[in-house]
Amino acid sequence: MQTFLHGRDLIGDLDFSKEEVETVLDVAWDLKRKRALNEPHPYLRDKALAMLFFFSSTRTRGSFEAGMAQLGGHAGFIESKSTQISHGDTAREIGEIYGRYYDGIAIRHCDWLAGNPYISEVAKNARVPVLNMQCDIYHPFQCLADLMTIMEKKGRDLRKKKIVVSWAYAASYLKPISVPQSLILQMPRFGMDVTLSYPPEFMLMPEIEQQARDEARKAGTAFEIVHDMDEGMRGADIVYAKSWGPLLTTADGVEGKRLQDSYKDWIMDQRRLELANPDAIYMHPLPADRNIEVTDEVLDGPHSVVFDEAENRLHAQKAVMALTMG
């Protein structure tokens, strides 16, 4: 157990070592138990977190805000549009100034090629921990909640368990690639065999795919990429099927949508779920395009763990905040 996380940023999934992630999970389960028992746990009394959003959110905002209150502190919701950022405040101003007001700065900025550099620049200029609430490259808090959920459902020893991270069609918008990227980076460290499945135009960042391969090699686990949704499902213990945009192929929204629309048959349905192992779990970070990306039958069915997964955002985030901001 590595307990000295005070003052640390969490921007990329590999910023915390495996042992540090294990510490986060231990603390998260303790906080989950305390909440279930209605046991007060004000580890961040009188502390304040800035939550700066450049993009919409249901779960991330709610879980950080509620989490800070449960820890005895306060979370300030700041929409970028309501600030002076468009009038000249740069990432340096945000880091320097919010770092003097708040005890932590959490940021969601998903714009392609802009989000991660922005968050990193704030972190460079801040005297307090900077937490990535999702950028164009990573969604580390989603991934911690996912790992926590997988361990709750499949046990702590995940060796020889297969997770398929599969692309699925969506009509709503071109979703960021951060969730699949975080998953393929983190899951090999915990023993899972990773299959990444997508139509060829939906590849992830080559350097992230290479890092995932390297992590799998170090952990002695399998990593493969396939371009057939059915093939990816076969023998999976954990089915994580969601949409993302073809950002590595085109940054043009219209062309991206045209490409996406050519794979409408990549829907997560019951027939595909039955290609996985009989006790497979289905995961999705939400929001999902119901009956387009995933059928109601799967999303609301007995294999789906999406609501436990969403709940675990709260516990995992409280653990990181308590460890880094306490």
Question: Segment contacting ligand CP (CB under 6 A): 39-47, 56-64, 295-303, 315-323?
Answer: 56-64
Q: Give yes or no for residue 285 binding ligand CP (CB under 6 A).
A: yes
Q: Which residue has the tokens 């972190």?
A: 123
Q: Which is nearer to ligand CP, 180 or 285 (CB)?
A: 285
Q: How far apart are the first and last CA of the chain?
A: 17
Q: Which is nearer to ligand CP, 303 or 313 (CB)?
A: 313
The amino acid that residue 255 corresponds to is E
Q: Give yes or no for residue 59 binding ligand CP (CB under 6 A).
A: yes
Question: Segment contacting ligand CP (CB under 6 A): 26-34, 58-66, 85-93, 111-119?
Answer: 58-66
Rounded to a whole number of angstroms, the minimum distance from the CB of residue 230 to ligand CP is 26
Q: Which is nearer to ligand CP, 59 or 272 (CB)?
A: 59
Q: Give yes or no for residue 57 binding ligand CP (CB under 6 A).
A: yes
Q: Give yes or no for residue 286 binding ligand CP (CB under 6 A).
A: yes
Binding mask 11-50 for ligand CP (x = CB under 6 A): ----------------------------------------
Q: Which is nearer to ligand CP, 101 or 173 (CB)?
A: 173
Structure tokens at 108: 């969601």
Among 3, 17, 58, 270, interactor with ligand CP by CB under 6 A: 58
Q: Which is nearer to ligand CP, 134 or 221 (CB)?
A: 134
Rounded to a whole number of angstroms, the minimum distance from the CB of residue 243 to ligand CP is 13
Rounded to a whole number of angstroms, the minimum distance from the CB of residue 1 to ligand CP is 28
Rounded to a whole number of angstroms, the minimum distance from the CB of residue 142 to ligand CP is 5
Q: Which residues of 237-257 are buried (b: 16+ CB within 10 A; e: fewer)?
A: bbbbbbbbbbbeebeeeeebe
Q: Which residues of 177-207 are buried (b: 16+ CB within 10 A; e: fewer)?
A: bbbbbbbbbbbbbbebbbbbbbbebbbbeee
Rounded to a whole number of angstroms, the minimum distance from the CB of residue 181 to ligand CP is 14
Three-class HEC string of the chain:
CCCCCCCCCECCHHHCCHHHHHHHHHHHHHHHHHHHCCCCCCCCCCCEEEEEECCCCCHHHHHHHHHHHHCCCEEEEEEHHHCCHHHCCCHHHHHHHHHHHCCEEEEEECCCCCHHHHHHHHHHHCCCCEEEEEECCCCHHHHHHHHHHHHHHHCCCCCCCEEEEEECCCCCCCCCCHHHHHHHHHHHHHCCEEEEECCHHHCCCHHHHHHHHHHHHHHCCCEEEECCHHHHHCCCCEEEEECCCCCCCCCCHHHHHHHHHCCCCCCECHHHHCCCCCCCEEECCCCCCECCCECHHHHCCCCECHHHHHHHHHHHHHHHHHHHHC
Q: Which is nearer to ligand CP, 145 or 219 (CB)?
A: 145
Q: Which is nearer to ligand CP, 62 or 301 (CB)?
A: 62
Q: Give yes or no for residue 142 binding ligand CP (CB under 6 A).
A: yes
Q: Which is nearer to ligand CP, 58 or 172 (CB)?
A: 58
Rounded to a whole number of angstroms, the minimum distance from the CB of residue 186 to ligand CP is 15
Binding mask 223-242 for ligand CP (x = CB under 6 A): --------------------
Q: How many residues bind ligand CP (CB under 6 A)?
A: 8
Question: Segment contacting ligand CP (CB under 6 A): 24-32, 54-62, 86-94, 155-163?
Answer: 54-62
Residues that bind ligand CP (CB under 6 A): 57-60, 134, 142, 285-286
